[in-house]
Each structure stands twice: as structure tokens, then as C-alpha cells.
Amino acid sequence: MRVELLGVPRERAGVAELELQADTLGQLLAALVVRFPALNKLITPEGLEPSVVANLNGDRFVRDPHTQLKQSDSVLILSADAGG
């Protein structure tokens, strides 16, 4: 599935998007940290740090590591704080 990084996650990883395989959000996050160790302050073994949130396909925001993913999903990982 496609993973898009925005905000601080993009800054830390140094890429805007990539392809990953995962059945759940937790699996995807674990794979991201393996690929980009610099994300380890934002993604902990428990899931997303509160300043970061995930979004499915530009629609629904999710945090639960057990959230099921489909191969056709685009998963966005972004800064949770939208303050301007």
C-alpha cells in the first residue's frame, strides 16, 4: 500500500511517500521505524506518539494499532497538531 508522510514525519524520514505491506496500522508503523529509525521518537512500540496521527485515504483519522488496512489504502502519517 501507499504510505504518504507529511509534516514532521516527512522531515524526519526524508521521503514523501513509499510502498509498504501491512495488515494493520501497528504492523505498518513497525515497518516504518525499521525503514526509518529517525521516526522512533514519533512511533513507539505502543503506536503513534500523541503529536502524530494516521489517516486513511484522506478520509478517516486513526490511531489504533489494530486498525485493519487494505492493500488499496493510502495511509497518511502526519502531524496531529493543525494549529496555524
Partner 1 sequence: MEDPTSFGYHGCYLRIDVSQGGVERMPIPEAVLRQFLGGSGLGAWLLLEEGDPSIDPLAPEAPLVFAFSPLVGSPLTTSAKFAVVSKSPLTDRINDSLASSGFAIAGKRCGCDAIVVVGRAAELSVLIIDDGHVRVEGAGDLRGATCPATQTGLKTRLGPDYQIASIGPAGERAVRYATISHDGRHAGRGGSGAVLGSKNVKAIAVRGTQRCEWAHPRELTEYSKSLSKRSFGPATAKYRELGTATNLLTFNRLGALPTRNFQSGTFEGAAEISPEQLRTTHTRTRASCAACTIGCEHIYARGEETGVRLEYESLFALGSLCGVSDPDSVLGASRLCDELGIDTISAGGTIAFAMECVERGWLEEPWLTFGSGEAMLRAIGLIGRREGLGNLLAEGSRRAAETIGHGSIAFAPQVKGLEIPGYEPRALQTMALGFAVGARGADHNRSGAYEVDFSDKVDRRSVTLDAVHRAIETEDKAALMDSLIICKFLRGVFGDFYAEAADMLHRVTGWDTTADELRETARRIVGIKRQFNLMAGWTLDEDTLPERFLNTPLPSDPTAALSREQLGVLVAEYHRQREW
Q: Are 37 and 63 in contact (CB under 8 A)?
A: no
Among 1, 2, 6, 24, the residue binding partner 1 under the rule CB under 8 A is 6
| 58 counts as binding partner 1 under rule CB under 8 A | yes
| 84 counts as binding partner 1 under rule CB under 8 A | yes
Q: Are 53 and 61 in contact (CB under 8 A)?
A: yes
Among 22, 53, 69, 75, the residue binding partner 1 under the rule CB under 8 A is 53
Strand, coil or helix: what is 70?
Answer: coil
| 50 counts as binding partner 1 under rule CB under 8 A | yes
Nearest CA to 27 among 81, 82, 73, 58? 73
Query: Which residues lie near partner 1 (CB under 8 A)?
Result: 4, 6-8, 10-11, 41-42, 49-53, 55, 58-64, 76, 78-84
